[in-house]
Structure 1
């Protein structure tokens, strides 16, 4: 297939719309189900690159949950403990395949942002992974293949309209890429930087102890940032992004945004949240939203008289700021990646509040010495990669 006509572009008034390869070669994809749109394909191709590189860098199956051309979550396929199974709503599914674990993590880290996601999988989609996808509100999935069982499950989703795309693993794009803005064509070499051990070997802090788990998490953070709209930072814990701050003009606003998402991920594991008793029949999205409000500053929206009865069987106690801070103080060994240098030490101060121990960033700020000094104050390990990872 040389080209694929689309219903419209980013918006319904932007017609005509199509995808094709400029040199006239075949498209590297086959649509197995549904009618993917313009933004679906933007998410699909960016997501596929992300998971492909995660698999190459870690040797583990990988998944990502994309929304509006940035990842809401990304992860590799490490086993889930009982708490994570519960907060990702898969505790009733028994043992899951590594790929299914990867998607449960990618989807579960920031469930509010992942609502209606486009999924990318590094490996052939299996029954376990398809069974999780079937439960979630999602636009589509791209993978190098699908088992017969998985495809049958996915084809039942959205009354047969769920988008399923198979991509050719052997496809390699041209070394030059082009983008047109206002009738002007931009050309640049593809971002082919390999995220490997050498890239994170320049440790500039007094503490130089970088365990293998932290190296893996640095790779997850940096690869995620390669496909996140800049400015961006990414918090990672145990092989999964737990907070992505995307598309902010201010670096510290990225850090605050991603840090808050990471905090919410950890707060969902607290006894106060795990003990919430929801009314029977509540929808998954309503349950996610209720938790998000309960752990935030607008908690009375779900605890007010007449409101809580629609959500909970038993009215929860207020989750106080002191209780939340005490729980968050238990979060540790978190990794933080940044797509460009930290211009001020306030980013490090904010990162510390979310348990950050390891940092990977390009370096190159005139205030690098102050950033390093702040890391040293907290015993952090920071690597300078020497390379920016802007993505637009």
Structure 2
């Protein structure tokens, strides 16, 4: 069964008719008999091709609104029969079943139907039954049958036929079988996950995820690791859907960091003004709001200029020329924004290695979704962290009441802390970060790192005092001991926002009162590992 197989008879049944007519003409020119169903048969016949209806092969008309048309032994026998098995050949002869050498099927557009927001019944009607059954049959019998499930493989098949005297090799058929099984697996994953959501099943017995290759990557996090980028089809503006205008191909780390940057900056509603986030190794090294995009960028940059070198810049509003001029003053890996004007594109064009991505919109930070992470022998799945607190949800727990300015800064810092690796400490002043401590085993260490970065930046800017003097602080989780509050007070902070919930909350509150700090509890934490 490993020898080349000539294509004499093909069954074509496609929802996506892109390139169908030209492809079918080239098959017919090679003497391939065309079988088809419904709209595919109609389209090819109208183009002047000779087509045999599957109904004429099975002896049964399409019925039940097309739900039943290919589920018949005349079809599946033609796909599954082993051509080197005498019993199979005898059965085919006895029952008048002709072999099918090529199956070309793409499935009902279930994923697109769900993405369009269609109702439950419409989604159900777009679950393909006959298509996956035929694909799996043809793929199983790839020793004799070629299966094509993607429009992009039409040309590959034609090249294969040109190179092999109108035959397909076993290697080609086996490769297409793998593609076919991956397609039906992804399709079933989409259906099962959609249905779990539809019936509010948060922990289905089985959970499957699938993606389509968007880009092979030179390597992963490190050069000795292989990697690739797959997209799931989720309708969410971001790095997966972005248009890259220029620059080198994105790397594994670029993609990961750019996603982190854009998800963070999307927390800030553009209707409330520009915001900028600068990310390094998936952690923010500067985040700010500003009167203009360039103002937001400069204020974010002034939080930690050293770390910003070679970082990712994300904006919540379109990139303009003035901001682009400022960004290119240092080396930046990627800039991502909803859009960019022509001046910005022209300025970036002079920096051939800088990647510019535009997305057409911002992801919704409140939107539900599933995230997952692999562990040995399994994976963890959880809902996206779409938690949000407003001023009315805060509980003031200290004698000193925070000012309105401090409350605004605390909510800003809290939003940033959600996107900082735990243990996270974010110092902020006037809606800009002035120190970030991330990813430490001790919350006190994060507190001290944020302060030290602030001191270094003050020195670089020629300021007499650390930027943390008079700042507010956000902590992604509660303070287990009073020492964290004491370290914040030493840094000059005046107000703290934290989840609360520690067994020693009373001790922590007492320390804040003793040190003259205002403190509020959110009742919500944002661990980010």
Give how far 1:25 is off: 9.8
User: What residue is the counterpart of 1:362 in the other structure?
Assistant: 499
RMSD: 2.3
Deviates more, 1:336-345 or 1:216-225: 216-225
Give how far 1:63 is off: 0.5
Give how far 1:22 is off: 5.8
Instruction: Name which structure has the greater RCO, CA cutoff 8 Å, separation 6+.
Output: 1
User: What residue is the counterpart of 2:517 in the other structure?
Assistant: 380
- Gap regions ≥5 residues in structure 2: 1-211
Cα-to-partner distance string for 1:215-257 (whole Å, 9 max, x where unaligned): 2211221111111111111000111111110000111001111
Contact 2:336 2:357 in 1 (8 A): yes
Q: Distance in 2 between matches of 1:377 and 1:150?
A: 51
Q: Distance in 2 between matches of 1:374 and 1:141?
A: 43
User: What residue is the counterpart of 2:385 in the other structure?
Assistant: 191
User: What residue is the counterpart of 1:239 in the other structure?
Assistant: 431
Give how far 1:171 is off: 5.1
User: What residue is the counterpart of 2:228 in the other structure?
Assistant: 17
Contact 1:262 1:354 in 2 (8 A): no
Report whether the alignment pairs 1:266 with 2:458.
yes
Change (3 A) 1:204 1:106: same
Q: Distance in 2 between matches of 1:374 and 1:267?
A: 30
Give how far 1:142 is off: 0.7
Give how far 1:49 is off: 1.3
Deviates more, 1:224-233 or 1:181-190: 181-190
Aligned positions of 1:245-260 closer than 5 A: 245-260=437-452
In the alignment of these two chains, the number of paired residues is 313
Change (3 A) 1:187 1:223: same
* Alignment counterpart, residue 125 of structure 1, candidates 302, 311, 319: 319
Give how far 1:269 is off: 4.4
Q: Distance in 2 between matches of 1:237 and 1:67?
A: 21
Q: Which runs of 4+ in 1 moved over 4 A?
A: 22-26, 170-174
Q: Distance in 2 between matches of 1:24 and 1:360?
A: 33
Cα-to-partner distance string for 1:290-326 (whole Å, 9 max, x where unaligned): xxxxxxxxxxxxxxxxxxxxxxxxxxxxxxxxxx7xx
Contact 1:3 1:21 in 2 (8 A): no
Aligned positions of 1:290-369 closer than 5 A: 327-328=465-466, 332-369=469-506
Contact 1:64 1:120 in 2 (8 A): yes
Aligned positions of 1:171-250 closer than 5 A: 175-182=369-376, 184-199=378-393, 201-211=394-404, 213-250=405-442
User: What residue is the counterpart of 1:38 in the other structure?
Assistant: 252
User: What residue is the counterpart of 1:153 in the other structure?
Assistant: 347
Report whether the alignment pairs 1:101 with 2:295.
yes
Q: Distance in 2 between matches of 1:147 and 1:69?
A: 27
> TM-score with structure 1 length normalisation?
0.74
Change (3 A) 1:52 1:375: same
Give how far 1:106 is off: 1.1
Contact 1:28 1:168 in 2 (8 A): no
Q: Distance in 2 between matches of 1:197 and 1:73?
A: 23
> Any idea what SS the aligned residue of 1:135 has?
coil
Report whether the alignment pairs 1:112 with 2:306.
yes
